[in-house]
Amino acid sequence: MERAAFLGLGAIGRPIAAHLGKHYDLTVWNRTGGRAAEFAARHGARTATTPRQAVSAAAVVLTCLPTSQEVEALLDGPEGLLAGLQAGALFLDCTSGDPEGALRIARRLSGAAVAFADCPVSGGTNGAEAGALTIMVGSDRATFERARPVLAHFGKLIEHLGPVGAGSALKAINNALLATNILTFGEGFAGLAKAGVPVRKALEVLNASSG
């Protein structure tokens, strides 16, 4: 069975890693070591104490961290990713990062002959648990074709959007639109409440009219 590494067992990363563990000899790493140990005991994965150890001998590496900066911070040092990555590996970053960060990471990995794609996901924890995430991919075409079967283990809609950084760009816009909708909703219903309209009743009417 091919070896894979997964770094970042947060709310989204944990179910993604669980899906991958069904298809790969999986090693996991997390900044909170107890979370990695708990995951490994439940899913039969290996654990690593450092990023270098996690990716050693792995053909496929996935990260799912809060921002691109956290991913970049794992690259360097004697126990960093670059010290353990093997030439020819495939590195898929599912972090909701930024395009510039994705490009910096790609350049660093290119020097180690490691293929890179930024692959942020959408669909929340429910989508991750169901293996039905939307995955926005930025990479060259050859890397995308290598990545697609890996991403298919936890994604339903997998779209190649352009070069490195394209996936992160779309995810940023997606988050901005979501934030705008939440703000609009909140302001609108605050206005209704001030006007004396029962908020619950307003929701019922709006739901009925949109059906």
Cα separation, 152 vs 162, in Å, equals 18
156 catalytically annotated: no
Q: Which of 22, 156, 171, 194 is catalytic?
A: 171
CA of residue 120 relative to chain centroid, distance: 5
Distance CA 113, CA 128 (A): 30
Q: Which two tokens stand for residue 58?
A: 């792995």
Determine whether 79 is exposed, middle or buried from the number of CB atoms within 10 Å of its CB (0-12, 13-18, 19+): middle
Do the beta carbons of residue 146 and residue 4 sit within 8 Å? Answer: no
CB 30 within 8 A of CB 52: no
* Residues identified as active-site: 171
